[in-house]
Amino acid sequence: MTAKKAIRSALISVYHKEGLEEVAKELIARNVIIYSTGGTAAYLESLGAKVEEVADLTGYPSILGGRVKTLHPKVHGGILARRSEEGDVKTLAEFDIPPIDLVVVDLYPFEETVASGAEDAAIIEKIDIGGIALIRAAAKNFTDVTCIASEEEYSELAKLLREQNGEISLEQRKTFAARAFDVSSHYDTQIHAYLDPESPNLKLSLQKPKQLRYGENPHQKGYFLGNLSKVFEQLNGKELSYNNLVDIEGALQLVDEFEEPFFAIIKHTNPCGCALGNDMKEAWHRALEGDPVSAFGGILACNGKIDKELAEDINKLFYEVLIAEEFTEEALEVLRSKKKRIVLKRLSKEMHPQIVKSAINGYLVQDKDHKKADESILEVKTSRQPSREEISDVVFGDLVCKHLKSNAIALVKNGQLIGSGIGQTSRIDALKQAIQKAEVRGFELSGSVLASDAFFPFADSVELAHQKGIEIVVEPGGSVRDEDTINFCESHGMCLIFTGIRHFKH
């Protein structure tokens, strides 16, 4: 530590006073000159500090309902003056401006006011002007000034003053300055987001990153930035990992597509099993039946309540995470018998509306794929018409396929995923994979629906489907060879349906 500077004067004007007493005691003990305003001045005086009002320093009272208090050369000059510059020192003397060595200022609670649902006028009043200017000035001049911009740093400052006899080193001042600009940039980002929520400019500011054990692999660092406590209550298990969070995102996006009792089992963001049911227990058993091998170590998610009987069934499988809207106390007692398995109660459906990915030397941003193919937009391209039950599976299959990695094929039957082809480099290979998985599990393909996330470039996929007894095919359409596919289906008594909606997922 080098270039220590003694704190001889301080400007303190804060919204949050909790913890400030510790700092005040250290300053008082060292006879530091303290400048302050309004409520902060009164608070410091109650602690025994001798306080000089900023209004007495500037010769101007607080005006415009408190909007202007510290915006004055006698304040900012004392902060910004470079002590090593002879001209700056002469200017201070010429205009009787006292140098200020320490600035302790926090900001009006803008984010909290927005979150409270306050009216626009009240929110605008929480846009801090004087505070942000003081923070930026003090942080810029960290060579000579210590800047404390958050109540979270009061304790650290007091400790340094106590242990270093009222001196702060250059390295410490620089660290505080960096944190101060983090505070100010975050603050401005939140204001911009409030005033222009639809801006195409990417401005992200998320503080207090949670360090994860590692990223996708042990040699990669991983962090989460956000507030999971608004979305989940963790009722059991170890800490969530990077991969857990990625899979949970995929699981919830799929679950939120359905209102009926629905269960999904996710591996590497893909549903390996999912199904509707008359109740949660039936939905669970049908989802597991789809691929019980891949379900091992998966993420389980549903849109309903877990009771004791269902918990006992689920506990027979090794899983990483179980998510539900509600758990009975008896169910939790069962689930907690497995100490490391993560159990999450969902508190809200709040999800980020966009997808942001780093790409090359920049970022890609897109809206999430919320479009659904309901019955009203289905375009039957053949004379063979679907029944009511088949239409239900068409809609179900298209929704499930939307959540598989491209190239993707979903085979569904009676509201159950019975086979899937995921992440293949050709569509025919995706179909072959889906058929193989369904046949290995003993599912009868006759009566099932084939859903594709994108158009068929050739008729080979529907030819193979026909060989396996599949009569209903749903796809977006849009290929230059659509007529080949349509003609094959028509001549072989198959039903081909176009949705007009592609669901690529990479």
Which residues belong to the active site? 140, 268
Tokens of 371: 């479009």
Cα(255)–Cα(349) distance, rounded to whole angstroms?
10
Q: Which residues contact 326 (CB under 8 A, 6 or more apart)?
A: 304, 305, 306, 345
Give the 3-state secondary structure of 370-417.
CCCCCHHHCEECCCCCCCHHHHHHHHHHHHHHCCCCCCCEEEECCCEE
**Helices and strands: H and E segment counts in the chain:** 18, 25
Query: Which has the closest alpha carbon to 21: 40, 35, 1?
Result: 40
Q: d(Cα 427, Cα 257) in Å, to the nearest integer?
A: 24
The dihedral through the CA atoms of 324, 329, 330, 335 has a sign that is: positive
Quick check: 283 and 276 in contact, CB under 8 A? yes
Helix 427-440 vs helix 460-467: crossing angle, to nearest 10: 20
Peptide bond into 201 cis (omega under 30): no
Helix (H, G, I), strand (E, B), or coil: what is residue 85?
coil
Whether residue 270 contacts residue 242, with contact meaning beta carbons closer than 8 Å, is answered with no
CB-CB contact of 174 with 158 (8 Å): no
Say whether 118 sits in a helix, a strand or coil: coil
In angstroms, the Cα distances linking 237 to 119, 264, 340 are 41, 20, 4
Give helix 154-163 / helix 20-29 axis angle, nearest 10°. 30
Nearest to 475 by CA among 504, 497, 445, 505: 497
CA distance 205 to 188: 9
Q: Are 81 and 97 in contact (CB under 8 A)?
A: yes
Distance separating the N- and C-terminal Cα atoms of the chain: 49
